[in-house]
Homo-oligomer: A and B are copies of this chain.
Amino acid sequence: MEKNAKGQSGLFSLIGHKGDVMLIHFRETFADLNQVELKLANLRLSDYLEPTTSYLSIIELGLYESSMKIYKELTDQGIELYSDQWKAEIECKLNRHREAMRPRLYPEIPPHKYACFYPMDRRRGEEKNWYTLPIEERARQMTEHGLVGRRYAGEVKQIISGSIGFDDWEWGVDLFAEEPLVFKKLIYEMRFDHVSAVYALFGHFYVGVRVAAEKLPGLLNGELA
């Protein structure tokens, strides 16, 4: 795990044919991420690396609970939805909220042995469509969903990132744990809460074992970690 002024990178040995290694980069801007890519391509090592996939997203907080509270406050004050005043007020309140949450927006890569990544969507089916539900209903379901996650907080570190407009799914999920079985337990249990059972669509899953950065060249030469 490399760490510098601008962010961190984690290195994992992927299990299975989806790739040899998975690199996780936390940076403050997309331009910084772009620089990481260019730096990697610049390394002599890159002759042995062929990118098979990638995912671009930004860390976001589950703001359903607080957003709903703010929305309700503004409505109660009689401010018209999406009016200029509304936009100014909500921007201001959400910014204040985000400022308070800032440490959670710029986390470090957790130090656990195993990582699991998968992207996901909320379903927009012809009958079951997350985006046509009222915000109160979405907030209620997200709260129920969050309760499952919290029960696993001690065993799994979850980092949710948003990728609408950035990549092919709407969210990316990074899980970190000392023991990979807990990934399955957590996701299996969540699959039965309403929002996941009805509205979650999943992409590919990637599971890797952490590798110290200095071991990368050996790993690519087939040396045992």
Give the interface of A toward B (CB within 8 A). 13, 15-18, 20, 30-31, 33-35, 37-39, 41-42, 46, 51-56, 58, 82, 87, 113-114, 116, 118, 123-129, 131-132, 151, 162-168, 175, 180-181, 183-184, 186-188, 191-192, 194, 196-198, 200, 204-205, 207, 209, 219, 222-225
Contact = CB atoms under 8 A, between A and B. Distances in A.
Given A51-B17, A166-B207, A207-B166, A196 B42 contact: no
Contacts of A196: 131
B183 A166 contact: yes
Given A162-B188, A163-B184, 9 more contacts: A13-B34, A17-B52, A31-B209, A82-B151, A116-B165, A126-B128, A129-B197, A131-B196, A164-B191
A207 B126 contact: no
Contact of A224 (B33, B35, B194): B35
B132 A166 contact: no
A72 to B, nearest CB: 17
Given A42-B224, A58-B181, A222-B41, A16 B167 contact: yes
Nearest to A211: B34
Contacts of A188: 162, 164-165
A69 B184 CA distance: 22
A129 B181 contact: no
B129 A168 contact: no
Contacts of A33: 15
A76 B153 CA distance: 29
